[in-house]
Structure 1
């Protein structure tokens, strides 16, 4: 290898290592989402996990492997937790949470309402999230130290509002409507909003909340990969986030100041 080539590659490697979390998070979700979309276009084998609507594809796994490989190269000391089974212990408190395809049922059904999402947590409540929607081309990044941006442009800061004056983005698997411990608080909070939207991708919903489309999002029993990327975006847009226990289940709530408090009150009954 010529010396000048070695020099160029070394300089490139140093520039990569110096990549900010914002730039890296955006790259991770864009690359993963683009890969998943290409694989979908080529045809997918779909496997069921816990129900007919809880599915996984090779695109999910391939996108998670790609994210994991990029993090190994650019943040080798950070931990990783992935929805599809990746678990890498970190050498310190920083950890990346990965959802390679959020809204997989939508993804396999041909809908555009899905995304790739990541979050990174660290000391002193550090939180950064990124969400990319490959079909629309929208990329959202924001968190505790970075005002939320959509395609590089800061979103309008969220202002206070009432739940009754806006929409509620939420989801409840149909079988759970038979369980009063979940159905009752769900019905209470749903009736408190002007309208509800159940679209099937929590991270896309939360990106919309951060942009002011919905007043509030809430869902029960969320794993970290369904909560942290979107929570970061909402907090980076000036919104509030809360977790409340009702009937033994944790409900996760995010949105406009005022509307979040309304939702929490209704959930508690």
Structure 2
């Protein structure tokens, strides 16, 4: 085993421990908050964009352990933790992805992170507390669910798969809405489930076919993209309608989505 492979395997083990601990911690906080009459939340940009005490506490848990175990690495986390490392690598952290679902008592949320270097994403880790399920994978790290290999993402056309997305209609320009409609109109069906990383896990398992969404933050995009790629899928970005779209899933469907967004 090469040094690089050994290091990546060690990073994957650490990543799995981090997201599992954060996800279980957030789940306990939700249960305790519900018993006490509420978690407490703050609105960020809209009623559907909120942050809870669990987001902050789970993020602190991850960041504090990384500071001990990977002190040379950088940190980029959704709730504000930032650190510039010396290694050229950065941990991108979403302590609770799908916070509206989490706060509302819906099960479609997770704890997620990715490790990136200057060139690419190295790995992604996603823990789904509702099922106590751990996903790991990356471009050079075959994707697994609870340690068992995932099959390859089915390579199907857009017309034969369910597309998953999110569009905040009040902030969508006419050009964005038109590009969105071009893609949605060619998919077999469309779902908006509320957690980008969980949507990506469904794609990696062959339950959904492709995701497309514009203006996606790195912490919402990279963990899932890494695991989809580790399962033989594709993930890419394209500028269209004045914004950058992130597209991931079945290679054939990804290519079709890109063409439709670009109106080719």
The reply to whether TM is greater than 0.5 is yes
Which has the higher Rg, Structure 1 or Structure 2? 1
Deviations 1:141-168 (A, max 9, x none): 0002210001111100123210000100
Structure 2 counterpart of 1:4: none
Match runs of 1:47-66 below 5 Å = 47-66=42-61
Instruction: State the shift of 1:227 in Å.
Output: 0.5
8 Å Cα contact 2:121/2:226 also seen in 1? no
Deviations 1:96-145 (A, max 9, x none): 00000000000000000000000001255351000011011111000022
Where 1:93 maps in the other structure, the secondary structure is: coil
Matched, 1:221 2:215: yes
Matched, 1:266 2:254: no
Partners of 1:207 and 1:103 in 2: CA distance? 13
Structure 2 counterpart of 1:14: none
TM, length-normalised to structure 2: 0.92
8 Å Cα contact 1:176/1:182 also seen in 2? no
Where 1:20 maps in the other structure, the secondary structure is: helix
Structure 2 counterpart of 1:3: none
Gaps of 5+ in 2: 1-6, 34-38
Q: How many residues matched?
A: 252
Structure 2 counterpart of 1:209: 203
Partners of 2:252 and 2:185 in 1: CA distance? 17
8 Å Cα contact 1:155/1:237 also seen in 2? yes
Partners of 1:70 and 1:25 in 2: CA distance? 11
Structure 2 counterpart of 1:92: 87
Q: Which of residues 162, 174, 196 is equivalent to 1:167? A: 162
Deviations 1:196-254 (A, max 9, x none): 11000000001111111111011100111010000000100011111110121000000
Partners of 1:31 and 1:140 in 2: CA distance? 14
Instruction: State the shift of 1:265 in Å.
Output: 1.0
Partners of 1:57 and 1:194 in 2: CA distance? 35
Structure 1 counterpart of 2:15: 25
Matched, 1:103 2:89: no
8 Å Cα contact 1:185/1:266 also seen in 2? yes
Gaps of 5+ in 1: 1-16
Where 1:131 maps in the other structure, the secondary structure is: strand
Change (3 A) 1:80 1:160: same
